[in-house]
Structure 1
Amino acid sequence: MLRHLPNLLSGFRLLAAPLAAWAILAEHDTAALVIFAGAGFSDLADGYVARRWGFTSQAGAWLDPLADKLLMLLCFLALLKVGAAPFWLVALVIVRDLVIGAGALLAKMLDLPLRIAPLMIGKATTAVLVGYVGIVLLLLALELEAPRLVTAGNYTVAVFAALSAATYLYSFLRALLSGRRTA
Structure 2
Amino acid sequence: MILRYLPNALTISRLLLAMPLGLLILRQEYGWALAVGFLAGATDALDGFSARKLGYFSRFGAALDPIADKLLILVTFCCLASAGLIDWWLAAVVVGRDIVIVLGALCYRALIGPFEFGATPLSKLNMAIQIAFCVLLLAAQLVAVPPLLIAGAAAVVVISALASGIDYINTWSRRAWQNRGRQ
Describe the SS at the equivalent of 2:141.
helix
Q: Which residue number corresponds to residue 38 of structure 1?
A: 39
1:152 corresponds to which residue?
152
Tell me, in whole angstroms, the C-alpha distance in 1 between the residues paired with 2:181 and 2:95.
Answer: 29
Native 8 Å contact 1:114 1:175 kept in 2: no
CA RMSD of aligned residues (A): 1.5
Q: Which residue of 1 aligns with 2:177?
A: 177
CA contact (8 A) 2:51 2:57 kept: yes
The whole-number CA distance in structure 2 between the counterparts of 1:15 and 1:115 is 26
Q: For residue 125 of structure 1, what is the aligned residue in structure 2?
A: 126
* Structure 1 position 86, deviation (Å): 1.4
Gaps (5+ residues) in structure 2?
none
**Where does residue 91 of structure 1 map in the other structure?**
92
Quickly say closer, same or farther: Cα 1:7–1:116, change in 2 above 3 A.
same
Whole-angstrom CA distance in 2 between matches of 1:61 and 1:141:
36
5+ residue gaps, structure 1, are: none
2-structure distance, mates of 1:95, 1:19: 23
What is the number of residues matched between the two proteins?
182
CA distance in 1, matches of 2:82, 2:48: 31
Q: Is residue 112–residue 176 contact of structure 1 (8 Å, CA) maintained in 2?
A: no
Q: Which secondary structure does the structure 1 equivalent of 2:40 belong to?
A: helix
Paired with 1:76 and 1:48, the residues of 2 have a C-alpha distance of: 26
Offset, 1:180: 2.7
Contact 2:112 2:176 in 1 (8 A): no
Q: CA deviation at 1:173?
A: 2.0
* Superposition deviation, residue 145 in structure 1: 4.4
Partner of 1:60: 61
Give 1:85 shift. Answer: 1.2
Distance 1:94 1:145, change over 3 A: same
Could you tell me the TM-score, scaled by structure 2's length?
Answer: 0.94
Q: Deviations over 1:78-135 (max 9, x none)?
A: 1001111111111100111011111111111123586421111100000000100011
Q: Distance in 2 between matches of 1:137 and 1:182?
A: 48
> Distance in 1 between the 2:32 and 2:98 partners?
26
Structure-2 residue corresponding to 1:104: 105
Please give the alpha-carbon distance, in whole angstroms, between the structure 2 residues aligned to 1:29 and 1:176: 44
Residue 104 of structure 1 aligns to which amino acid in structure 2? Answer: A
C-alpha separation in 2, matches of 1:132 and 1:141? 15
TM-score (norm 1): 0.94
Paired with 2:101 and 2:114, the residues of 1 have a C-alpha distance of: 16
Shift >6 Å, 4+ stretches: none
SS of alignment partner, residue 141 of structure 1: coil
